[in-house]
Each structure stands twice: as C-alpha cells, then as structure tokens.
Amino acid sequence: MFRVDIITLFPQIFAGYLTQSLLAKAIDKGLVEIHVHDLRDWSVDEKHHKVDDRPYGGGPGMLICVEPVIRCVEAVQSLDSRPALVILLTPQGERLEQRGVESLAQTGRLIVLCGRYEGFDQRVIDILKPHELSIGDYVLNGGEVAAMVLVDSTIRMIPGVLGDECSSWDDSFSRGNRLLEFPQYTRPPEYRGHRVPDVLVSGDHKKIAQWRQEQSLLKTELRRKDLLIPPADPNT
C-alpha cells in the first residue's frame, strides 16, 4: 500500500480529485492511501489558528511559521511505522521529471508539504531537510496543484494502478524513453475529408510499427529537439 500524506492550508482543494478518476479506483483497490491534513490543526494560536506571519526584515506577504509545520510533520510521520520521504513543493525546488516520478513511486510513503504565500520560514527546510520539488518554471498560487501533479504522476507508476488495457510501458517519458507519441486514429475512417492513414488499416504490423516509430521521431524533432539530446548522467 503506497501512502501519501498531504499537508495544506486548503484541504478542500483535494476533495474532487480524490473521489474521481484513476486515483479513486487505486484507493478502492487498496493500492494507494491518501490522507489530507489541515495545517491549521497544528497552529500554536488556539484562538484564530493562525499559521503565518510577516517576514523579519520586512518585505511583502506572509510566511508559513515553523512551529505548526514541524508539529504537523512529526504527528503525521508517527501515523505509520514506515518513515516517509518528506517533499516540499516550491518553485525553488528541483524540477520534477519522469525519472524523479519513477523513483518517488519506489519509496512507498510520501509526506507532501504544500506552500502558500511567500513560502516557509527557512527553519522548516533546515530542520526537516525535505526534498524540494517544483513542477516547472512558472509560478502557482500554492503547492496544491503541484501536489496533485505529483500524486497523479507517481501513482500511475505503481503496479496494478493502471488497468491492463492502458499501460505506462509506451509512455513518452517512461523508462528513459524520450520520444513523443505517434498520432492515433479510431472510427470513422474518414471525417470531413480527413482520412485515416492507409498504413494503419493495411494489417501489416511490421509496417505499422515502422510508421509509428517514424512519426514519433518526426514529431519529437519538430516540437522537442531537446528530448533527442540524452540527459546528463548524474553518475558522471
């Protein structure tokens, strides 16, 4: 059972996502367990459940305070005997890519911290030493959408989550594959003068495989030349 604990100031954001889609099925099948925790429940301010404050030295916005985060992560860690990899979602993090997704799927347990406002007090990072991740070079209003991206991409790598009918084996970025997918067609054979390529209805499987390979390469050259350059080997 793969376990994810999400810590957020906006737990309601996850409600729809958790009850719909492939993830709901994976939860039903007992392959994945997801718990969402409201950071405010660990506030040290009993009255207003405040968890943020103004930065020392001035500047715009508010920071998430260190005490509630540490209290929450420690409480959540102890909910399961397996130690979790702690992830902090921030635009300052290392960019999440398929290779990273595949290694997250191997861990078995994640605690995901979603940032908001101007971010966290630096001591959150100094104390927890989380794995800081970003989902790309653009700014989101908070880590919640990034958490869904992380969970969505990770759980589909867990054996049994995808049905036999849709495997991740051929995915564009899986197992070091760095080619975009070839175009696919279904009925009708012709629509508004646009015909399905003859090769696909030829029944010649060797030719079909060759055509698909060519199309993948062509599309990748056209759209994502960067993918054709092998990524730097982290061991060299």
**Which residues are annotated as catalytic?**
91, 118, 156, 171
Neighbour-count burial of 236, counting CB atoms closer than 10 A to its CB (0-12 exposed, 13-18 middle, 19+ buried): exposed
DSSP 46: T
User: Taking CB under 6 A as the rule, which mask of x and - marks residues 87-116 in contact with ligand 6GU?
Assistant: --xxx-----------------------x-
Could you tell me which stretch among 7-15, 101-109, 139-147, 153-161 binds ligand 6GU (CB under 6 A)?
139-147
Q: Counting contacts by CB under 6 A, is residue 6 touching ligand 6GU?
A: no
Whole-number minimum distance, CB 121 to ligand 6GU, in Å?
16
Cβ-based nearer residue to ligand 6GU, 60 or 159: 60
**Paired residues of 87 in beta bridges:** 112, 131
- What is the number of residues in the chain? 236
CA atoms within 13 A on the CB side of 7: 27
- Binding residues for ligand 6GU, rule CB under 6 A, total 13
Among 48, 59, 139, 234, binds ligand 6GU (CB under 6 A): 139
Among 8, 43, 98, 134, binds ligand 6GU (CB under 6 A): 134
Could you tell me which stretch among 123-131, 133-141, 176-184, 225-233 binds ligand 6GU (CB under 6 A)?
133-141
Provide DSSP, 56-94.
TT--SS-EE-HHHHHHHHHHHHTTSSSPPEEEEEEEEEE
Among 143, 162, 180, 211, binds ligand 6GU (CB under 6 A): 143
Three-state SS across 102-146? Answer: HHHHCCCEEEEEECCCCCECHHHHHHHCCEEEECCCCCCCCCHHH
Q: Counting contacts by CB under 6 A, is residue 130 touching ligand 6GU?
A: no
Whole-number minimum distance, CB 60 to ligand 6GU, in Å?
15
Q: Counting contacts by CB under 6 A, is residue 124 touching ligand 6GU?
A: no
Which pair of structure tokens corresponds to residue 156?
């589909």
Could you tell me which stretch among 38-46, 59-67, 135-143, 217-225 binds ligand 6GU (CB under 6 A)?
135-143
Q: Counting contacts by CB under 6 A, is residue 11 touching ligand 6GU?
A: no
CA atoms within 13 A on the CB side of 55: 14
Cβ-based nearer residue to ligand 6GU, 8 or 90: 90
Cβ-based nearer residue to ligand 6GU, 11 or 143: 143
Which helix (H) or strand (E) segment holds residue 166: the answer is: none
Query: What is the amino acid identity at position 143?
Result: G
Distance (Å, rounded) from C-alpha 228 to C-alpha 212? 17
Footprint on this chain of ligand 6GU (rule: CB under 6 A): 89-91, 115, 134-136, 138-140, 142-143, 146
